[in-house]
Amino acid sequence: MNFESTTEQGLLRDAVRSFVRKRCTRQNVRQWEREHVFPEELHREMVGAGYVPMAVPEVRAADRQVQGDRHMLADMATELEAGHWLTSMAAWRYDQGLPCAREATMAKLYCSAMHVRVDDAGHANSWRTRIHYGS
């Protein structure tokens, strides 16, 4: 596996860094943290620029449950992505003929526990997810 950045990935990285420097100043981030919010307009800009691969449907600001569901879905996606990267690193080390028992064990442990967490969260909240997102 080649973990070097392609030209396109480098351009995307530079564009995201520029966006974050302009829109996510320390002052803004501190204010958002104090208020426990993530500005909807910033999210829309990120989606429009292609920095966020999944757009979540628009919701009313008063509907706090949907915001909680967004966080749950983001947590689940993060868990899945982390499991993917742990597994990929173990597979890469194996393909390179490098010792990989540690990495494979970490991936196996994390992914089996992550599967339970994601599955439990999905089942516990599936009725709300279907209502809000129409699945």
Section 34-49 average pLDDT = 82
Give 106's DSSP letter.
Answer: H
Q: Per residue in 42-63, is it b (16+ CB within 10 Å) or e — as a string? A: eeeebeeeeeeeeebeeeeeee
58 pLDDT band, cuts 50/70/90, is low
- CA-nearest of 71, 22, 69, 30 to 49 is 22
pLDDT digits (tens, 9 = 90+) for 2-29: 667 788 878 888 888 888 888 888 898 8
Q: Whole-angstrom Cα distance, residue 79 to residue 113?
A: 10
Query: Could you tell me which of 106, 77, 112 has the C-alpha nearest to residue 93?
Result: 106
Instruction: List, for residues 69-102, the tens digit of each pLDDT value.
Output: 677 777 777 888 888 888 999 999 999 999 999 9
Query: By the 8 A CB rule, do 124 and 68 touch?
Result: no
Average pLDDT in the chain: 77
